[in-house]
Amino acid sequence: MSYILFSLIYFVVSNFLVFQKCSGLFLIFLPFYIAGNFCPVFSLPCTKRLKNCAKGNALLIEFLGSAALSIALFILSFTTLLPLDNIFKDPKLWIINTLIAIVLEAVVFWNGMLRIFFSSEQLGIKMRVIAVICGMIPIVHLVVLGRMIQIVSDEIVMENRKIVLGKQRWEQQICATKYPVLMVHGVFFRDFRYFNYWGRIPKALEANGARIFYGNHQSAASVEDSVLELAARIREIIEETGCEKVNIIAHSKGGLDCRHALSLPGMKEHVATLTTINTPHRGCEFADYLLTKIPRAEQEAVAKTYNAVLKKLGDPNPDFLAAVNNLTASFCSEFNNKFPDVPGIMYQSIGSKLNKSVGGRFPLNFTYHLAKYFDGVNDGLVGEASFPWGSSYKMLTVKGKRGISHGDMIDLNRENISEFDVREFYVQLVADLKQWGY
């Protein structure tokens, strides 16, 4: 209702020469125009960021309404349908009214646009760039504006709902597991210094009572080297907290690293559960293919560049090629024979499906085709047949073209996906661990 009300107010004030002559509404509506630019909606969400999003979105919706009315008035001024002959017979007065309307409508528009540009998390860089490029293209800019309004509207509803849900179940502490949670990242990413690998997931878990720790290991190294770092990290957590064990949640290659680490002397006593997320337990056939087709010199050139950059970011001894080779189907076949499950530890696994390449962000939209050719149904990197491991396995996807990618499973792009709330998925995952006594 506030959208309609403020749209009418903006319309009247923007065309104040018309309405001042007709009924003197301008002086009455002007204070409401000013107030509406500060608070254009009556009901606001919980946080300051979401309030800005809601205000900006409301201003854009109200701008569309008032602009449409102004355009209708402009068109009708050339007809005899409105008793405004005394106004529009004077071309000078008509031009002045039109210019004022454009300026005042622009104030509403830019007030709204700047608010969502600087407060929305879901618009993303791509949508912002599209908005800038298409801003001056007639008709197209309205389509883009409509899409932006829809994205921000969905964001406000979802994020506010999550905040309310979090407050409602805070006392339940559903993720307060017996043992703390160790989150282990996959290859080519880090969980310490400069980048949060797990996106919004840890904060959601902690808000529900979880104690979270990170692997803090290198971004790229062989499984053999990674396990030493992870074993040391587990011992460090045990010593720091006094807990007997940890629950491990590992993504991608991190699952292989952890399976190997559990076989080291003294490790099985310190791990209660291992949950692998989109881990290539049986490797990736397309990785074998690429390593045989790409010349060794080119592989080493890429590895040299990667290793040099990651050393500057804090990795003591990154090894790009060793990490890539550990993702091959040939390596994993041998690996699985060497490292069976350790008795006394609960293993479970999760996988996801990207329905079409367009559903993934670069480079997963490209590698999807390679993975599909060699490995069939996949998440943009890993084939479905490679995911299952342990006593239970769950496969995730959503309807439509999108699906759930390898990156979506760790909230890499901080993107809200219709029908799949990655934060709530992890909250329920850890809540289950608590319910099972871990």
- Tokens 């809200």 correspond to what residue? 416
Q: What's the CA gap between 248 and 216, in Å, rounded? A: 13
pLDDT in the model for residue 261:
95
Do 204 and 296 belong to one domain? yes
Q: For the chain, what is the domain count?
A: 2
Of the candidates 165, 195, 220, which is a domain's last residue?
165
* 70 shares a domain with 20: yes
Please state, as a whole number, how many other Cβ atoms lie within 10 Å of the Cβ of residue 133.
12
d(CA 254, CA 245): 18
Mark which of 165, 195, 225 sits at the end of a domain: 165
Percent of residues in the chain assigned helix, strand, coil, to nearest 5: 60, 10, 35
pLDDT in the model for residue 194:
61
Q: 161 and 178: one domain? A: no
Do 152 and 13 lie in a common domain?
A: yes
Which CATH number covers residue 290? 3.40.50.1820
Q: Do 253 and 153 fall into the same domain?
A: no
In this structure, the answer to whether residues 313 and 205 fall within a common structural domain is: yes
What are the φ/ψ torsions at residue 153 (nearest 5 degrees)? -60, -45
Torsion from C-alpha of 327, 333, 335, 336, nearest 10 degrees: 120
Of 33, 38, 36, nearest in space to 52 by CA:
38
pLDDT in tens, 211-253: 999 998 888 888 998 999 999 999 999 999 999 999 999 999 9
Average pLDDT (72-88) is 65
Q: Residues 197, 135: one domain? A: no
Residues 130 and 263 in one domain: no
Is the domain of 250 the same as that of 371? Answer: yes
Average pLDDT over all residues of the chain: 89
pLDDT > 70? residue 88: no
Q: What is the mean pLDDT of residues 382-390?
A: 95
Q: What is the pLDDT of residues 95-127, one digit of tens each?
A: 887 888 889 999 999 999 999 999 999 998 889
Are residue 90 and residue 200 in the same domain, yes or no? no
Residue 380: predicted pLDDT? 93
CB contact at 8 A, 138 and 397: no
Residues 284 and 324 in one domain: yes
| Joined tokens for residue 437 | 């006594």
**DSSP per position, 73-128:** HHHHTTSSSSS-HHHHTSHHHHHHHHHHHHHHHHHHHHHHHHHHHHH-SSSHHHHH
pLDDT value at residue 20: 63
Q: 28: domain range?
A: 2-165
What number is the average pLDDT over the span 44-50?
85
Query: Considering only CA atoms, which of 182, 372, 408, 368 is closest in space to residue 278?
Result: 408
Task: State the pLDDT at residue 23.
Answer: 54
How many separate helices (H) and strands (E) can be counted in the chain?
17, 6
The model's pLDDT over 300-349, given as tens digits with 9 standing for 90+, comes to 898 899 888 888 877 888 888 888 899 999 999 999 999 999 999 999 99
Whether pLDDT at 255 is above 90: yes
State whether 38 and 60 are in the same domain.
Answer: yes
Domain end among 165, 195, 214 = 165
pLDDT band at 151 (very low <50, low <70, confident <90, very high): very high
User: What pLDDT score was predicted for residue 354?
Assistant: 94
Q: Which residue from 150, 156, 131, 2 is spatially nearest to 65, judged by alpha carbons?
A: 2
Percent of the chain with pLDDT over 90: 57
